[in-house]
Structure 1
Amino acid sequence: MEVQQAVKQEVKWEVKQEVKMEVRRIRDWNLGLGEEPRPGSAGPFCSVLVERFGCRATVMFGGVLSGVGMAASSFTRSITELYITAGVITGLGFCFSFQPAVTIMGHYFVRRRTFANAMSSTGTALGLCTLPFLGNFLHAELGWRGSFLVLGAVLLNCCVCGAVMRPLHRRHGNGGHPLMNHGPPLTSPPPPDPGKGRIKALWRRLMASAGRHMAFDLLRHNRRYLAFAVGITWMMLGFVVPLVYLVPYATAGGMEPGRAALLLSILGVVNIVVRPPVGVVFNTPRFRGRHVYVFAAALLVNGLSNAVCCLGPGFGVLLGYVVTYGLSMSVVGSLMFTVLMDIVEMSRFPSALGLLAVMESVTLLIGPPLAGEATRAGSV
């Protein structure tokens, strides 16, 4: 799961190196989608696969898709083909591997759920620090086509991760059915009548199934989920922008590129060091039931910390900003899925996460380009 997220960053770098002229428009808009990737608009479809086939099969299927898509990118001859292989196919694989992994973590861990989520999210920061160096080495030794092949082989290891996910069964007396297939039963439609009655019955069944998997009923009836989903959606509008513009902002102010790049490495190190202790501290009984308040406070600090950059592009100022941003980012990343698991029932978690992924993918997509437009307009 964490390897996938960091590999997305590497894909973006590889494309810029070898097809620089073709993607100049993307680079100018500074599309930083790979900086903090999230599952995209295929989230509801992924939740259907999870409930139908379970987390293990879905993760393995996602591993195959992402590995094949990444490997196929090495044979592309145009940017359009690269969009299809490294974008659509690999992106679907990421989605089908990421969401079930988060879901099954919530089932495996109950008492230590906060710590488990914090530890699993640490891999994102670890990949941020290590995979760029691996990418540089692969590009120098094998070229961008060979690099895609190797990264595709790395992503195939998601199949191994899926294979070790033990299927969850209900306890004694519950029939032994997989837990992921358990949920509020759909109301059976009346026996279909000939003609219009049959069409109405089919339409009723489709609407009931779509409503369940899209979790629209949660938006209507669960106010906590509604507030959380709307808040996360707006958060994603600017959450990744500092990761995209930090180095350009520093170099534009006269900082050496090496020192500017060091800031991102420091950000990754802060996340690696801080997230495990965050999981330990907020897993204690004292914070039980208060995760949402800690999460909201960390999110507020994370947003306000961007004002530090207004003091200037000096290394000391940006170092303080990176540390503050990294600390708050660690808390946000460690508690996000824990808070969602506290808000909705685990039987509805895949659907809730899928709908949230659709909503946040929209603002995640338009955030960096909007910041780029604001920069060029001189309003920032």
Structure 2
Amino acid sequence: MPPAAVTNLGYTPPDGGWGWAVVFGAFISIGFSYAFPKSLTIYFKEIQEYFSVSYSEIAWVSSVMLASMYAGGPVSSMLVNRYGSRPVVMVGGLMVSIAMVLASLGTTIIHLYLCVGVIGGFGLAFNLQPALTIIGTYFQVKRPLAIGLAMTGSPVVLSTLAPLNQFFFDSFGWRGSFLVLGAIVLNCCVAGALMRPVNKRVQVKPSDGSPRCEVAREAAAAGVSTPSADPPPEDGPTESKCPSYIYRYIDLSLFRHRGFLIYLVGSVVMFFGFFAPVVFLAPYAKHQGTDEYSAALLLSIFALADMFIRPVTGIIGSSKWVRPRIQYFFSFAVSYNGVCQLLCPLASGYEGLVVYAVFYGLAFGILSALLFEALMDLVGAHRFSSAVGLVTIIECGPVLLGPPISGALVDAFGDYRYMYYVCGMFLLAPGVFLFIMHYYNYKKLDEEQRQSLSLEIRASEEALKLRINQEVETMKCKYELEAAD
């Protein structure tokens, strides 16, 4: 497989410069997208008592918000493809702010579902996908590092919002806190302002004598852009094939892309067991007799390990040994998460849970840092916006149903062990599947690349023969004319 799929970019990403400011903006935007729904759980107990609803009813606020964030992926992708990342992120921050202000005036739990869950969730979707997409336009060689740093925003923002929310709750109650959070989340608009479009100047590398480089050099000299080294996809959308307006902004031909389908199948199964273990970590510790403070400390240990490993994963993913075969690294990360869940019930006592929290935090961080880089590596930066939109809307089902299914297992068996076993299988099985299928995909891509190169060499030889014949005919005609004179 090529080091990275970069077809049809038409320019060389700067891999730095203002791109690091964009990474900082993405750090804030992605941080709020993932941390905001989790941080709101601090207010659930008081809201539950205020509206006289059950815990399951109030828990749906975060679930609906996360599901809306994933379901809004295609809409976000269409807007990014049409208007760019900067305005979409700014509108998303404004939507979440308005949602929190409206929620502070709520009189029923349905009001919170609509404001916090639906409006706020769609606003977070407008923060997540554009931030990831614009990183792909600024970075190529250092892209795994850039995405790893941006994804670190999730644990950092969560660890910052958690104590702040507790302070706001003690000082202003849940209604006043929602107003303050509505102001804080406007920082996403500032983050969006940093995401100015990349300067797409065509830069052609020096010729190495190959036919491909010669074509690029001559085209650049003529002032026209050329396609990249990779052959354009045969199933790419065209005006004749896709006359519909929506087809212009959502690349549905990705459903015929081999690598995309492999990623989609693996990730859909994976998300059934991805979030539930961290949601039930503290309750599981309490079930084993751990006090509330120590149980909460496990989450802090988990977050610290997660925060540490994400940039480290970006550095490893950018190395020359891992980058050309980064899909194997991603498959290992999924499998590693599964093994952690399968071994969790074997942890005895609080010390065992601390060890589990460390290893699980590392596993969760590695997988989170590679989650979107693996997709971008498969489909290329130019198709990533459509790909992430299609993936997230399909994943919203497992994201929404995963924790309730896990909770039902706990209710049915009265024990958390079976929940961790099932989550472990939901992670280990797609990890093995991804490893096998990516091995097959790499072999097929190598074969296709060799065939493409062979065809180009053959076409170049035919063109060279034709040119020689034309020159011979020209010289022969010139010689005959001179002889006649």
Using the size of structure 2 for normalisation, the TM-score is: 0.69
1:36-185 matches, within 5 Å, as 39-172=69-202, 173=223
User: 8 Å contact 1:70–1:148 — kept in the other structure?
Assistant: yes
Distance in 2 separating the partners of 1:226 and 1:137: 45
Q: Which residue of 2 aligns with 1:186?
A: 238
Bigger mean CA deviation after superposition, 164-173 or 302-311: 164-173
Which structure 2 residue ranges, 5 or more long, are not aligned? 1-28, 203-222, 226-232, 419-485
Distance in 1 separating the partners of 2:312 and 2:90: 31
CA-atom RMSD in angstroms: 2.4
User: 8 Å contact 1:274–1:330 — kept in the other structure?
Assistant: yes
Q: Which residue of 2 aligns with 1:201?
A: none
Are positions 1:356 and 2:391 aligned together? Answer: yes
Distance in 1 separating the partners of 2:114 and 2:62: 18
Distance in 1 separating the partners of 2:68 and 2:150: 14
Are positions 1:14 and 2:37 aligned together? Answer: no
Distance in 1 separating the partners of 2:118 and 2:33: 14
Q: Which residue of 2 aligns with 1:5?
A: 34
1:308-347 matches, within 5 Å, as 308-312=343-347, 314-347=349-382
Bigger mean CA deviation after superposition, 366-375 or 28-37: 28-37
Distance in 1 separating the partners of 2:270 and 2:186: 32
Q: Which residue of 2 aligns with 1:300?
A: 335
Q: How many residues align?
A: 356
Distance in 1 separating the partners of 2:119 and 2:346: 43
Distance in 2 separating the partners of 1:124 and 1:318: 23
Cα distance 1:252–1:364, how it changes in 2: closer, same or farther (>3 A)? Answer: same
Q: Which amino acid aligns with 1:18?
A: I
**Displaced runs of 4 or more, over 4 A:** 27-32, 34-38, 172-175, 211-214
Identity rate, percent: 37
Deviation at 1:320, TM superposition (A): 1.5
Q: Which amino acid aligns with 1:5?
A: Y
SS, match of residue 286 in structure 1 = coil
User: 8 Å contact 2:67–2:121 — kept in the other structure?
Assistant: no
Bigger mean CA deviation after superposition, 114-123 or 277-286: 277-286
User: 8 Å contact 2:313–2:369 — kept in the other structure?
Assistant: yes
Deviation at 1:3, TM superposition (A): 2.4
Q: Which amino acid aligns with 1:324?
A: F
Which structure 1 residue ranges, 5 or more long, are not aligned? 176-182, 190-203
Deviation at 1:325, TM superposition (A): 1.0
Distance in 1 separating the partners of 2:151 and 2:367: 10
Deviation at 1:148, TM superposition (A): 0.5
Deviation at 1:33, TM superposition (A): 3.6
Q: Which residue of 2 aligns with 1:216?
A: 252
Bigger mean CA deviation after superposition, 37-46 or 109-118: 37-46
User: 8 Å contact 2:65–2:117 — kept in the other structure?
Assistant: no
Deviation at 1:10, TM superposition (A): 2.1
Q: Deviations over 1:213-246 (max 9, x none)?
A: 44432122x1111010111111110100111111
Q: Which residue of 1 aligns with 2:11?
A: none
Q: Which residue of 2 aligns with 1:269?
A: 304
Q: Which amino acid aligns with 1:168?
A: V
Distance in 1 separating the partners of 2:125 and 2:280: 26
User: 8 Å contact 1:99–1:353 — kept in the other structure?
Assistant: yes
User: 8 Å contact 1:117–1:334 — kept in the other structure?
Assistant: yes
Cα distance 1:18–1:28, how it changes in 2: closer, same or farther (>3 A)? Answer: closer
SS, match of residue 110 in structure 1 = coil
User: 8 Å contact 1:249–1:313 — kept in the other structure?
Assistant: no
Cα distance 1:174–1:129, how it changes in 2: closer, same or farther (>3 A)? Answer: farther
Q: Which amino acid aligns with 2:409?
A: A
Q: Which residue of 1 aligns with 2:286?
A: 251
Deviation at 1:282, TM superposition (A): 2.1
Are positions 1:233 and 2:268 aligned together? Answer: yes
SS, match of residue 84 in structure 2 = helix
SS, match of residue 318 in structure 2 = coil
Cα distance 1:359–1:185, how it changes in 2: closer, same or farther (>3 A)? Answer: closer
SS, match of residue 69 in structure 2 = coil
User: 8 Å contact 1:63–1:94 — kept in the other structure?
Assistant: yes
Q: Which residue of 2 aligns with 1:288?
A: 323
Distance in 2 separating the partners of 1:333 and 1:342: 15
